[in-house]
């Protein structure tokens, strides 16, 4: 059956070498896993940066607010590829090397490590702004009610302001996280073996550029589709009767 | 606690927003179990006065003591003050993402660190007290204004405060639901809760208050038992105001 499907150009005759070439398949799957892993880690970290940054923006300390707004300006107003290069080449070269378990000298932070740092900071800057918009939509009278009950600023943020702001922010947050998943392809530039990188390796060997391009599009549509589905579910789970509708 | 001492004692309170003086030389005492009503035209600083008592609004001079705690103390323990002072707002200000029961239970658990089981028992009792049994798992957005306001009262009571502040709590309600809320407050007062109310409900003030304070332009123009204020006001400004609203 499989042999019948295999034409001269491999399985199905489409040049889909990842179906009949074990090496290509495992490289592709590894790339898929790397992209998924990179996306998930950066989503979680950028989410945490958003929560902490939005909290610091409302702090009474002028220094804290200044640091957060400088961070947002830098990461929102420069290209993510430039940021990635900055971390990998400029910051990376300043860090000392360390010796690994084989006794080899390796950089302290790997290319994957820099991709995580760079993309998390990039998406985190946007998340802060997204949460800030949600926080500003929470009525000051609701905050006052929490204060009158004795809640501290942190307690108010944690139990009242953020849960309400999150519900308001979710659509915009979804957009930014979708963008983050797509931005992970930039890691190609520093040789992180994510989907685009392994695909390029495959097509330069198999010369199946068109097929791999189409496959990449389909895989990204599926990945982003899953993310959007998850966010929509979350939105529905957080929906409160009589609030905002 | 010495019961002869006033629970809330305000002396020469001054509150300014920039150059604008909103409260001037306000002094009065509220004893334990007493109900004080503050009446007066809009913009006379009544709500601001309440907000000074639980440190939601800072003030520039004078003193407010609540159960011996000086509110203007720079090292004020706000949590310690606010657990003693409950506040109910005109717009209810419930937490819309929490059910009725959660709204009532939240603060004692989060702020006072009390045991969830005990708090739930108390919360259910208070929800029944404000006649909302069966609404425990409803969200605020599904309730009427009067029901929401009674949840807000239960939420405040669950902190076991020593004094309750009511800031025009019926102003946003229609006459029918207004009555439900007023009945709840009257029952509280009858139970001996110390209450300070800012209100436009003159009939209610006459009925429940021990002392009525008439304020205008940031000063207390006149005060006394409701009978005197409503039947025999001494100041022409008070008479003018009462003629308008009664």
Establish if B117 touches chain A: CB-CB under 8 angstroms.
no
- Contact predicate A214/A12, CB 8 Å: no
Phi and psi (nearest 5°) for A155? Answer: -60, -40
Establish if B134 touches chain A: CB-CB under 8 angstroms.
no
Interface test with A, best of B81, B94, B96 (most A CBs within 10 A): B96
For residue B87, the chain A residues in CB contact (below 8 A) are 145, 148
B11, part of any domain = no
Residue ranges making up the domain that contains B90: 85-160
Cβ–Cβ gap A141/B93 under 8 Å: yes
- Which of B102, B154, B131, B222 lies closest to B169 in space, CA to CA? B154
CA–CA separation, A176 vs A238, rounded Å?
A: 19
Domain limits, chain A = 2-95+106-238
Q: Which residues pair with B66 in a beta bridge?
A: B8, B69
What is the per-residue pLDDT for A9? 52
B75, part of any domain = no
Our CA-based measurement puts residue A130 at a distance from the nearest CA of chain B, in whole angstroms, of 20
B114, part of any domain = yes
What is the per-residue pLDDT for A180? 98
B193, part of any domain = no
Phi and psi (nearest 5°) for B193? Answer: -70, 135
B116, part of any domain = yes
Q: Please list the ranges in chain B whose pLDDT falls under 50.
A: 1
Cβ–Cβ gap B87/A243 under 8 Å: no
- Confidence label for A6 from pLDDT (cuts 50, 70 and 90): very low
Residue of chain B nearest A152, judged by CA positions:
B79
Distances in Å between the Cα of B113 and the Cα atoms of A157, B88, B157 are 17, 22, 16
State chain A's mean pLDDT as an integer. 92
Q: Provide the 3-class DSSP secondary structure of residue B1.
A: coil
B23, part of any domain = no
CA–CA separation, B162 vs A33, rounded Å?
A: 60
In this predicted model, what pLDDT tens digit does every residue of A95-113 receive, in sequence order? 988 888 888 888 889 999 9
CA–CA separation, A24 vs A15, rounded Å?
A: 12
B223, part of any domain = no
Asked whether the predicted pLDDT for residue A15 surpasses 90, the reply is no
Cβ–Cβ gap B95/A145 under 8 Å: yes
For chain B positions 6-35, those within 8 Å of chain A (CB to CB) are none
CA–CA separation, B208 vs B35, rounded Å?
A: 7
Distances in Å between the Cα of B5 and the Cα atoms of A46, B9, B65, B81, B204 are 55, 9, 11, 17, 27
- Report the predicted TM-score, pTM, of the whole model to 2 decimal places: 0.89
Count of structural domains within chain B: 1
Token pair 């629970």 is found at: B7
The architecture that CATH gives domain A2-95+106-238 is Orthogonal Bundle (1.10)
ipTM summary value:
0.92
* CB-based burial label for B36 (10 Å; 0-12, 13-18, 19+): buried
- Confidence label for A18 from pLDDT (cuts 50, 70 and 90): confident
């Amino acid at each position: 059956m499989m042999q019948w499907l295999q034409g001269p150009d491999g399985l199905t005759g489409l040049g889909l070498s990842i179906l009949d070439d074990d090496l290509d398949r495992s490289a592709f799957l590894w790339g898929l896993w790397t992209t998924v892993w990179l996306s998930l880690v950066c989503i979680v970290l950028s989410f945490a940066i958003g929560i902490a940054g939005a909290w610091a923006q409302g702090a009474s300390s002028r220094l804290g607010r200044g640091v957060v707004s400088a961070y947002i300006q830098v990461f929102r107003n420069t290209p993510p590829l430039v940021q990635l290069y900055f971390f990998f080449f400029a910051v990376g070269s300043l860090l000392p090397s360390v010796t690994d378990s084989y006794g080899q000298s390796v950089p302290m932070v790997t290319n994957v490590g820099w991709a995580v740092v760079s993309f998390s900071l990039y998406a985190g800057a946007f998340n802060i702004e997204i949460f800030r918009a949600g926080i500003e939509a929470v009525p000051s009278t609701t905050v006052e009610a929490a204060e009158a009950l004795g809640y501290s600023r942190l307690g108010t943020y944690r139990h009242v302001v953020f849960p309400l702001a999150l519900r308001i922010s979710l659509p915009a947050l979804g957009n930014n996280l979708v963008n983050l998943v797509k931005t992970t392809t930039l890691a190609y530039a520093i040789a992180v073996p994510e989907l685009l990188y392994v695909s390029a390796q495959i097509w330069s060997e198999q010369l199946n550029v068109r097929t791999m391009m189409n496959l990449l599009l389909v895989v990204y549509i599926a990945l982003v589709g899953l993310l959007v589905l998850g966010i929509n579910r979350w939105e529905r789970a957080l929906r409160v009767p009589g609030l905002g509708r | 606690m010495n019961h002869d001492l006033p629970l809330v004692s305000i002396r020469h309170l001054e509150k300014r927003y920039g150059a604008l003086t909103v409260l001037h030389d306000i002094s009065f005492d509220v004893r334990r179990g007493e109900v004080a009503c503050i009446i007066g035209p809009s913009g006379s600083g009544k709500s601001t006065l309440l907000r000074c008592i639980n440190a939601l609004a800072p003030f520039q001079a004078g003193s407010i003591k609540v159960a011996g705690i000086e509110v203007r103390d720079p090292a004020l323990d706000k949590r310690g003050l606010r657990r003693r002072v409950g506040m109910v707002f005109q717009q209810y200000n419930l937490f819309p993402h929490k059910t009725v029961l959660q709204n009532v239970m939240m603060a004692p658990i989060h702020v006072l660190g009390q045991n969830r089981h005990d708090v739930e028992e108390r919360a259910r009792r208070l929800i029944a007290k404000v006649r909302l049994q069966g609404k425990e798992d409803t969200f605020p957005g599904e309730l009427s204004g009067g029901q929401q306001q009674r949840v807000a009262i239960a939420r405040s009571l669950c902190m076991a405060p020593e004094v309750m502040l009511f800031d025009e709590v019926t102003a946003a309600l229609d006459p029918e639901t207004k009555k439900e809320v007023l009945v709840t407050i009257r029952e509280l007062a009858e139970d001996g809760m110390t209450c300070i109310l800012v209100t436009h409900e003159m009939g209610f003030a006459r009925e429940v208050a021990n002392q009525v304070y008439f304020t205008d332009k940031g000063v207390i123009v006149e005060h006394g038992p409701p009978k005197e204020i409503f039947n025999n006001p001494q100041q022409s400004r008070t008479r003018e105001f009462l003629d308008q609203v009664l």
